[in-house]
Structure 1
Amino acid sequence: MTEAAKTPWHLWVVGGLSLLVNAFPVVDFTLTNLQNEFWLSPLTEAQRTFILGAPAWANVCWALGGIGAFVGSLLLLFRSRHALTAYLASIVGLAGSTYYQHILNGDTLRQLFQNVPVIVTGVIWVIMLGLIFYARAMTAKGVLR
């Protein structure tokens, strides 16, 4: 039986920070879909209509993206090789959300929110790809088991 590699200090930093960052989409998805008035209060009526009017498949992508990222971060902290699988599932959800928002509804999204969603989506893609490469590297080094 092979011994697992020692946990590097950066795994705790990356795992902890990513858990904090990836908690936001879980909270956002939950409170938005519960139509929490406090959470939705900063939005205009048109923005609410757009967000709450998303088709079921887009909501599934949103949930998969956000919850997958959060679970991936938990699994990273637990040193599980399945963190990579969760991050890959998350990127599938992110791809679906990106397609719905920016390809199918890009003009409407820009009219309602200006360029903010483009920037936010770009940052999310960079973070998620970084987490995928990190989890892959830690799996290859035997840190994730």
Structure 2
Amino acid sequence: MTDMTVKTPWHLWAVGVVSLLWNGFGAYDFIMTNTQGEAYMRASGMTQGMIDYFNAMPTWMYVPWTLGVWGAVLGSILLLLRNRLAVWAFAASLLGAVASLLFGLIHPMPELPEAMAMMKWMPWLIAVVAAFLAWYAWTMGKRGVLR
């Protein structure tokens, strides 16, 4: 049996660092929302209607939110470590992102102020990025880059 070393492609480092920065902001938002609550939400520009919407979410929605955020952070770290468990972490993150997106489609957010109109698309962007990262990690695993 031969021991072949697979060279790490340059793009793994680029994707890993960018994903860690992107997902790091999600982790920051998660921590600040859960520790500072409404003060953080107001400072972020959320209206009272948006804050009320967030506060009215069922407790079980913390499960997909937690999976989405922390699965992505863990996946980013594991990707940079070239660990094959990155695939599973990003899959958990994708599951959380899709569940959150579906909840938002079933229970739409109140009307957004013009300055925050892009927030309407943020759940879609998060799900697309999560899908890309899961696919990317899976592809790197198949190529033998992840151990």
Report TM bin, short chain. 0.7 to 0.9
1:22 Cα offset (Å): 0.6
- Structure 1: segments with no counterpart, 5+ residues: none
- Tell me the equivalent position of 1:81: 84
**TM-score of the pair, normalised by structure 2:** 0.87
Query: How many angstroms apart in 1 are the aligned matches of 2:87 and 2:39?
Result: 34
Q: Choose which of 97, 102, 113 in structure 1 pairs with 2:100.
A: 97
State the TM-score, normalizing by the size of structure 1: 0.88
3-state SS of the aligned residue for 2:111?
helix
Does residue 55 of structure 1 match 2:58? yes
CA distance in 2 between partners of 1:3 and 1:52 (Å): 53
Q: How far has the Cα of 1:113 moved from its partner?
A: 5.7
- The ranges of structure 1 where at least 4 consecutive aligned residues each deviate by more than 6 angstroms after the TM superposition are none
Shift of 1:93: 0.8
Q: Which residue of 2 aligns with 1:31?
A: 32
Structure 2 unaligned blocks of 5 or more: none
Which moves more between the two structures, 14-23 or 119-128? 119-128
**Structure 1 residue aligned with 2:72:** 69
> What RMSD in Å do the two structures reach over aligned CA positions?
1.8
Q: How many residues align?
A: 142
Percent identity over paired residues: 38
Change in 2 beyond 3 A, CA 1:128/1:113? farther
Residue deviations 1:20-74, cap 9 Å, x none?
0011111111111113455222222221111122111111211110111111010
1:33–1:52 CA contact under 8 A, matched in 2: no
CA offsets, 1:68-103, max 9 Å, x none?
111101000000000000000011111221122122
* CA distance in structure 1 between the aligned counterparts of 2:30 and 2:113, rounded to whole angstroms: 18
Tell me if structure 2 keeps the 8 A contact 1:26–1:63: no
